[in-house]
Structures are given as C-alpha cells and as structure tokens.
Amino acid sequence: MSIKKVHGEQPKEFKFSAENLKKVEEILKRYPDKNRKSAVMPLLYLAQRQNENWIPLAAMKYIANFLAMPYISVYEVATFYSMYNLAPVGKNFIQVCTTTPCLIRGADKIVKLCKEKISPNENEVSEKCNASWIEVECLGACVSAPMIQINDDYYEDLNEKSTTEILESLINNKPLEPGSFRGRKNTSPEKIESINRGKNA
C-alpha cells in the first residue's frame, strides 16, 4: 500500500460552486453553530467531487477558512482517511481492498491483475483507459470478499476471471454492471435451501 502524497502541481485557488454552496448550507444545518468544525469531512468530500475526485491544498485552506478552524486540522483529516485523494486519479478509480478477509480469498491476485492491465504502480493514471488503482483498507464488504470499488460502485465475490473481465471492460470503455459476480443478491447465501434443511434437522 502506497503512502499518500500531496500532488506536486497545485491549483492556486478553490471555491465551491454555487450548486455546492447550497449543499454546504444544508450540511451545516445538521450541526450546532459551535460545532461547525464537525462538518469538515462532508465538506472535504464535496470539494473532492467538485475537483475531479481529488482534493488540492487550496480546497483544504478554503474549507479551513469557511469553518473557522486551523488549516493543519483540515490537512490532518484529509491525509488520514483513504477516502480522500490528494492527487489526480483516473476517471475509473479502482480501490482494491487488501484487508485480511479479502487477502485470504485472493486480493493479492486482483492487485497483480491491476498492475498488469491498468498500470504497474498505484496512483498512476493509465492512458489506455483513464483509470488508476490503489490498495485500501477494509471497504466494509467482508462477506463478499474479495472485492473492489470502482468510483461509487462495489464489485464483489471476485476471482481472477471476473476481475479480468471487469478491468478489460474499463479498457474497452464498456464497464460491467456492479454487484456480486457469483450471482448473489446483496449478501444473501447462495443456497438458502441448504440452510433451511440445517434448521429443520
């Protein structure tokens, strides 16, 4: 897993768009005036979405001033959580979970395929499909391990064959539908009848 690094080329300014300022107003209504600083995480996420899925330093300073909090405090939040990107990522941003449940079920093979099909290094945007990948900690779908997240979607119950199909679909600009690749609905067991038989035994 690579260390998060701030991108070398930074925009000089950042401001929320008029549309996002309205969203900020709604977000701040959730917090008492004395606890406005608690809105730092949703505001960072909003800034990331506005800025093509990464957060420049100018956005951190803007949010710090907006919430009347120290800039270093915003920086600490942005650099701590893996959900925030400090450098440009591809249009197809692939996050590979390599925490224990995914790892023991083959996440290392998914990482190998990302290196072969997307780019040899993490956080390196591939020109052939405008995609980048990164290893991350638990994405909260352990029951569907191994799995990956592409932008906002989860691709679960993977193996080498299904992962290859997913990555090649990105290269061909025809992304596959997200969800389970073992045909499960959500996290339901594959053979419900066998469980029912066990209960009746």
Q: Side by side, which strands form the sheet with 131-136? A: 131-136, 92-97, 148-150, 153-156, 179-180
- Closest by CA to 143, choosing from 174, 180, 171, is 180
What residues contact 75, with CB distance under 8 A and at least 6 apart?
57, 60
Residues 100 and 150 in one domain: yes
pLDDT digits (tens, 9 = 90+) for 74-103: 999 999 988 899 999 988 999 999 999 999
What average pLDDT does range 178-200 have in this prediction?
Answer: 67
At 161 the three-state DSSP class reads helix
Within a domain: 9: no
Within a domain: 197: no
Is residue 141 a contact partner of residue 96, using CB atoms and an 8 Å limit? no
What average pLDDT does range 160-186 have in this prediction?
Answer: 92
Percent of the chain residues past pLDDT 70, beyond the cut = 90
Is residue 122 a contact partner of residue 108, using CB atoms and an 8 Å limit? no
Give the CATH number, domain containing residue 62. Answer: 1.10.10
Residues 97 and 175 in one domain: yes
Structure-token pair, residue 166: 């997913």
- Counts for the chain of helices (H) and strands (E), in that order: 8, 5
- Domain range for 55 is 18-80
Within a domain: 74: yes
Residue 79 phi, psi dihedral angles, 5° rounding: -85, -20
Q: How confident is the model at residue 194 (pLDDT cuts 50, 70, 90)?
A: very low
* pLDDT of 2 higher than 80: no
Cβ count near 83 (within 10 Å): 13
> What H or E segment, with its residue span, contains residue 132?
strand 131-136
* pLDDT of 45 higher than 60: yes
* Distance of alpha carbon 146 from alpha carbon 103, whole angstroms: 7
Give the CATH number, domain containing residue 151. Answer: 3.40.30.10
Residues 121 and 61 in one domain: no
pLDDT at 141: 92
Residue 82 phi, psi dihedral angles, 5° rounding: -70, -15
- Closest by CA to 173, choosing from 135, 126, 108, 109, is 126
Q: Is the peptide bond before 120 cis (omega within 30 degrees of 0)?
A: no
